[in-house]
Structure 1
Amino acid sequence: MIRRGGRVSGAQAVATWASGLPRNKEGPDEDERSRTEHIAVAIAYDAALATLRTVEVRGFDGYAITARLLSWAAMRLAAAPLDKPGAVNPIAAFGLGPLRDACAAAGLSVTYV
């Protein structure tokens, strides 16, 4: 059970203060999200700063992609909890192949340049 404020000193005061702040709108609607594109570019360099590999990841509707990936990860972890302590990155948690497949199923495309 998650309790608002928990046992952190001052947390209740912060939660009360934050609840009075102005709210943003709910976020973009489905039409707005369908018109967005997200691009992430990663470039690997060697010690002499020569480019080894460039990778582009593209996707549309970042809200839906995020929801799909979080759902996938939650279902995997519910079925087989991690045996690694602490925080781990997605590749360490799920493996490169399954993560790559999940990203493709969520609507991300990868281009190696």
Structure 2
Amino acid sequence: MDIKAQSLYSELQSLARQAGMDAAQAQPLVTNPSAENFGDMLKDALDNVNNLQFDARNKQVAFDMGDTSLSLADVMVAKEKSGIAFEATVQVRNKVLEAYKQIMNMPV
């Protein structure tokens, strides 16, 4: 899968804005970001990916059933967003597993 750097960067900027971050300054707008639980942040990220995939599937089914309010472009954009989000999630998982393996192989 070929991922364009500029489109991925713009998607990350939009996700950062949605998450309450100022993309230009890259400073969190929350006063104490360490107060959030990592598990909750991870769950929210996975829920977001799941919602993107669910939305893409619903749009595809609606388009297949003849919904005239959706265009083929809308369906394809939704499917690409969900695909990119899933691919990014897989890459993050792979990096976490790689880091875990490196930590476990460190001598004590």
**TM exceeds 0.5?**
no
Structure ranking higher in helix proportion: 2
Structure ranking higher in strand proportion: 1
Computing the radius of gyration from Cα coordinates, the structure with the larger value is 1
TM-score, structure 2 normalization: 0.27
TM-score, structure 1 normalization: 0.27
